[in-house]
Amino acid sequence: MVGVDDLVRVWTLTGTPMGAERLGRYARALVAERPIGPYRALDDDQEDLAILSLVRVDRPHATIEDLHQMPPLALSGYHQMIHDLAREGLGPVPAGR
């Protein structure tokens, strides 16, 4: 599985405009939710959970319902972080795999 430092490196190389410390917080949140490994397509619910883990770095008490009420533009950076991992062949390992 891929570790926090690996995720920070990927996001840095793909141009995510944040410092390593902040990227580390997002990486730890994502890894705490699901292991990160080779890319596999996520269904909508799995992607929502991955996005929610990133959102909770900034809004610790956010729920799925909150996520669904947020404007798409407010979520675009979080989606981009997941897509940057996918472009590098990485992603959250779906449950049961």
Which residues span the domain enclosing 40? 4-92
Over 7-61, what HEC string results? HHHHHHHCCCCCCHHHHHHHHHHHHHHCCEEECCCCCHHHHHHHHHHHHHHHCCC
pLDDT above 90: percentage of residues in the chain: 91
Task: Determine the pLDDT at residue 96.
Answer: 66
Q: What is the number of domains present in the chain?
A: 1
Residue 23 belongs to a domain = yes
How many other CB atoms sit within 10 Å of the CB of residue 20? 12
pLDDT given at position 20: 95
Q: Confirm whether 52 is domain-assigned.
A: yes
List, for the chain, all residue ranges whose pLDDT scores fall below the cut of 50.
none
Instruction: Say if residues 20 and 8 touch (Cβ distance below 8 Å).
Output: yes
Residue 55 placed within a domain: yes
Return the pLDDT at 66: 97
pTM for this predicted structure: 0.92
